[in-house]
Structure 1
Amino acid sequence: MVTSSPNEGEEKEGPVIRDKRRIDPETGEVRVQAGGSPAPEAPADGGDGDGKAEQGGEEVAELRRQLAERLADLQRLKAEYDNYRKRVERDRVAVREQALGQVLSELLPVLDDIGRARDHDELTGGFKSVAESLEAITGKLGLVRYGEKGEPFDPTVHEALMHSLSADVTETSVVDVLQPGYRIGERILRAARVAVADPDPEAGSDEPADEPDGPDAESGE
């Protein structure tokens, strides 16, 4: 006797595939849902999609504006810091030169004595060694001696104590240095005291005139 299985004669169920596409690929018609209404359409142009895009664009523009403001603030702060750093460095150099100037100004009479002794060949022995050491130290500190015969007269660095006319110069020049000048950098500690000479406007007017040629000149007529 043949017995049948309880499931015999029944079809086995496979996977169920439901096509949820809104447009029927065969007819091209809009499919009607089970309730009788067409499937909802995607939002048309100008709907919620464009609204969100417009809102996103406004947010990006606002972020760019804030970024530009922060960048401008950073650039302004950097410029202010650079100016402050330069001002501090300039003030530091000025304070250093001022302090050195006050100290070295007290040594100028000693340097003058050394210079006079050298001019009279009295700078000898131990005094010479001390003098040269002192001049070397002041030179390392930035002290510069200036003022030479023959250089053009400059009222900003020279003090004219004597004045004369000379046919040997073509411009106002230093003809003698009575006391040398000293400076540190651009700071003048003491102007050079000098004698100056201007070109003599009558130089050359005393030359004898050329004698006329011819028999009249020889006879004196």
Structure 2
Amino acid sequence: MSDDAKNPEEEPTVPGEGRTSPEPGSEDGGTADIDGADDLIQAEGPDVELSAEDEALLDQASTDLVAEMRQDMLRAQAELVNFRKRVERDREANRDAVIAEVIRAVLPALDDLSRAEAHGDLAEGPMVVIAQKLRGGFDRFGLTQVGAKGDVFDPKIHDAIVQLPTPDVTVNTVADVIEPGYVLGERVLRAAKVAVSVPA
């Protein structure tokens, strides 16, 4: 038989050509994927039960975390309390500073009243009542007059204008008060101007 006698519709085939890939789940190849998934599931295994030691460690870790959070809460609460105290302290200090400035501005008027009283001008009349009210109001705030003759000289509240060598004294002593000083609580508003007797 010649080549021309062969069936022209028959075409040469390539080895492996014409085979279709197996469908998933088919007997040829799909079962391999499913079997692999089953193996993976079985590899994970059942839930692992913790030993008593591991459970104790977990409980200890939880306890430590709770204790740490409690410490943080207590620390934050203490900081809040300290902040409130600091605000109150600053507010009180600002209040005292304002009162001190107001009284310091009125000190010349108190000096005039003291001079008038020393000259006998406040023996009677309406100025006596005014002086009493002013001094009573300042006393309510804790204003105290400092600097008196015979006091031991204190550089914190006394301002020595003159030094007088005196053989009768053994320590520096206020000999005369030129201008009285004033103290508001522990704050010196004005030091007293004094003459000081010093040991000769």
Report if TM-score (shorter chain) is over 0.5: yes
Q: Which runs of 5+ in 2 are unaligned?
A: 1-47
Structure 2 Cα separation of the partners of residues 66 and 175 of structure 1: 72
Q: Which residue of 2 aligns with 1:96?
A: 95
Q: Secondary structure at the match of 1:189?
A: strand
Shift of 1:55: 2.2
Q: 1:115 to 1:84 in 2, by over 3 A?
A: same
- Residue 199 of structure 1 and its aligned partner are, at CA, apart by 1.6
Q: SS state of the match for residue 53, structure 2?
A: helix
Counterpart for residue 119 of structure 2 = 120
Instruction: For residue 116 of structure 1, report the CA deviation from its aligned partner.
Output: 1.2
Query: 1:58 corresponds to which residue?
Result: 57
TM-score, normalised to structure 2, is 0.69
1:103 is paired with a residue of what secondary structure?
A: helix
Which position in structure 2 is the counterpart of 1:157? 157
CA contact (8 A) 2:177 2:194 kept: yes
- Deviations 1:87-128, CA, capped at 9 Å, x for gaps: 212211111111112211221111001111222222122111
Q: Percent identity?
A: 41
What pairs with 1:119-138 in structure 2 (closer than 5 Å)? 119-123=118-122, 124-138=124-138
Listed as ranges, the matches of 1:159-174 within 5 Å are 159-174=159-174
> Paired residue for 2:199?
199
Secondary structure of the residue aligned to 1:107 is helix
Deviation at 1:79, TM superposition (A): 2.9
For each residue in 1:37-85, what CA deviation from the matched residue of structure 2 results, as whole angstroms up to 9, or x when unmatched? xxxxxxxxxxx99x53112211221122112212321232233223212
Aligned length: 152
Which of structures 1 and 2 has the larger relative contact order (alpha carbons within 8 angstroms, sep 6+)?
A: 2
Structure 1: unaligned runs, 5 residues or longer: 1-47, 201-221
Q: Give 3-state SS (helix, strand or coil) of 2:153's partner.
A: coil
RMSD: 1.8
**Structure 1 length normalisation: TM-score?**
0.63
Note the C-alpha offset of 1:189.
1.4
Query: Structure 1 residue 135: deviation in Å?
Result: 0.6
**Partners of 1:116 and 1:151 in 2: CA distance:** 21
Q: Which amino acid aligns with 2:65?
A: Q
Distance in 2 of aligned mates of 1:90 and 1:173: 37
Where does residue 80 of structure 2 map in the other structure?
A: 81
Query: Offset of 1:156 from its aligned partner?
Result: 1.9
The one-letter code sitting in structure 2 at the alignment partner of 1:75 is L
Residues 168 and 199, structure 2, Cα contact 8 Å, conserved in 1: yes
- State the 4+ residue runs in structure 1 displaced beyond 4 angstroms: none
Instruction: Return the alpha-carbon distance in structure 1 between the equivalents of residues 142 and 77 of structure 2.
Output: 34
* Residues 139-186 of structure 1, C-alpha deviations (whole Å, 9 max, x = no match): 112322111122221212211111111223221121111111112222
CA distance in structure 2 between the partners assigned to 1:74 and 1:152 by the alignment: 55
